[in-house]
Amino acid sequence: MPSMPAKRVAERTTGAALVPLPRVTNEAEPVDPRIGDVDEWGRSEHIRELARMLYEPLYKYWFRAEWEGLEKIPDNGGALLVANHAAAIPSDAPVIMHGIEKELGRAVYGMADHFFKGIPVVGTLWSRGGGVAADPENAYRLLREQKQLALVFPEGSKGPGKTYGERYQLRRFGRGGFVEIAMRSGVPIVPIAVVGAEESMPILAKNATLAKMFGLPYFPLTANVLAFGPLLGGLLYFPAKFKLRVLDPVYFDVPADQERYSKSMVMDEADQIRIRIQDALYDMLRKRTSVWFG
């Protein structure tokens, strides 16, 4: 809805025409009797702490996550973390968020589709654990105004929806929206290449009819289900070795807060970032001797 014109001075019957300025007072800030620690995004540091405690064994002994170039993630200021996305139930987001929060002591907001917000319990836990709906408005406020770290997977659900045969083949990076957000927010993009997620819960086959029936982006048959049975296999990952490589941050040579950015420039930058992550993945896979031991 377009806003009404900002200033409109009306003549008054008395002829005294000026709009009086609002009084400037120095009132104290109102007291805020909060009792919880849930922030405006729904994230709770208490719940994150608990989640980190519970997740640490999985991170350390199951996936044995190993980072390279973690120092490239800025200690302060906003940055948009961009990674490849994989596994039927993506295992990469928790690993990245856990690793950065543990090593750098900085909160990471994981941006994902609005889809999650609609699932009972899961949506609430996701939100308390640092999940935020991937909306340009949310990203701008997080990055520009609050100078936080936000994590996005530009492949969206097409990344985790890949079958095993397509592993480590990056999908299209959306329409480059993530680049535009970073430009508008005036923050760098930090690409991260993740190896291991693909093998933690590989998809053998998909069924479009079932997906439609359940309103899901894809309905997978995973190797885990075959190995561990339908119940346990729906939750239990294979202990693939995780390796994460942080690539050099990309700074954009454009002013922040523009109304629009050249679409061709945005698409070009997005593609270059995609290629850099893809190249890093190939390099890491060349050096990998075992899926389980790295």
Partner 1 sequence: MGKRVLITGLGAFWGGRAALALEKDPDVEMIVGLDTIEPKVELERTEYVRADQSYSILARIVEATQVDTILHTFLEMDSTRMSGRKLHEINVIGTMNLLAAAGAPGSSVRHIIVKSSTLVYGANQSDPAWFREEMTRTAPPRTRVERSIIEVEGYLRDFADDNPHVVVSLLRFSNVLGTDITTALSRALEMPLVPSILGFDPQVQFTEEDDVIRTIEFVMANRIPGIFNVAGDGKLPWSEVVSICGKRRLPLTPVGTGTVAALLDLVRAIDLPPEVLDLLRYGRGVDNRRLKRAGFQYHYTSAGAVESFVRASRLRKTVGNSRPEYHYERDVENFFRHSPAVVREHE
Q: Could you say whether residue 132 binds partner 1 (CB under 8 A)?
A: yes
Which residue's CB is nearer to partner 1, number 2 or number 165? 2
CB 177 within 8 A of CB 186: no
Q: Could you say whether residue 11 binds partner 1 (CB under 8 A)?
A: yes
Q: Could you say whether residue 135 binds partner 1 (CB under 8 A)?
A: yes
Q: Cα–Cα distance between 211 and 242 in angstroms, integer?
A: 29
Q: Could you say whether residue 72 binds partner 1 (CB under 8 A)?
A: no
Q: Cα–Cα distance between 206 and 226 in angstroms, integer?
A: 14
CB 200 within 8 A of CB 93: no
Q: Could you say whether residue 42 binds partner 1 (CB under 8 A)?
A: yes
Q: Cα–Cα distance between 113 and 218 in angstroms, integer?
A: 14
Which residue's CB is nearer to partner 1, number 41 or number 252? 41
Q: Which range touches partner 1 (CB under 8 A), out of 24-32, 175-183, 214-222, 238-246?
A: 24-32
Which residue's CB is nearer to partner 1, number 132 or number 179? 132
Q: Is 240 exposed, middle or buried (CB count within 10 Å of its CB: 0-12, 13-18, 19+)?
A: buried
Q: Could you say whether residue 210 binds partner 1 (CB under 8 A)?
A: no
Q: Could you say whether residue 120 binds partner 1 (CB under 8 A)?
A: yes
Q: Could you say whether residue 3 binds partner 1 (CB under 8 A)?
A: yes
With CB under 8 A as the contact rule, the residue among 69, 74, 123, 239 that binds partner 1 is: 123
Cβ-Cβ contacts under 8 Å for 185 (sequence gap 6 or more): 78, 80, 139, 140, 143, 144, 256
Q: Could you say whether residue 259 binds partner 1 (CB under 8 A)?
A: no
The three-point CA angle 136-140-141 to 5° equals 120
Which residue's CB is nearer to partner 1, number 22 or number 165? 22
Q: Cα–Cα distance between 67 and 167 in angstroms, integer?
A: 21
With CB under 8 A as the contact rule, the residue among 52, 64, 102, 117 that binds partner 1 is: 117
CB 242 within 8 A of CB 205: no
Q: Could you say whether residue 208 binds partner 1 (CB under 8 A)?
A: no
Which residue's CB is nearer to partner 1, number 7 or number 286? 7
Nearest to residue 174, comparing CAs of 196, 152, 194, 143?
Answer: 152
Q: Could you say whether residue 260 binds partner 1 (CB under 8 A)?
A: no
Least distance CB 48 / partner 1 (angstroms): 15
Q: Which range touches partner 1 (CB under 8 A), out of 118-126, 184-192, 221-229, 248-256?
A: 118-126
Nearest to residue 244, comparing CAs of 288, 289, 187, 201?
Answer: 288
Which residue's CB is nearer to partner 1, number 60 or number 114? 114
Pairing of strands 243-246, 189-195: antiparallel
- Partnered with residue 149 across adjacent β-strands are 79, 108
Query: What count of other Cβ atoms lies within 10 Å of the Cβ of residue 277?
Result: 23
With CB under 8 A as the contact rule, the residue among 96, 100, 133, 225 that binds partner 1 is: 133
- Chain residues in the site for partner 1 (CB under 8 A): 1-8, 10-14, 19-25, 27, 30-36, 38, 40-42, 114-115, 117-124, 132-133, 135, 137-138, 141
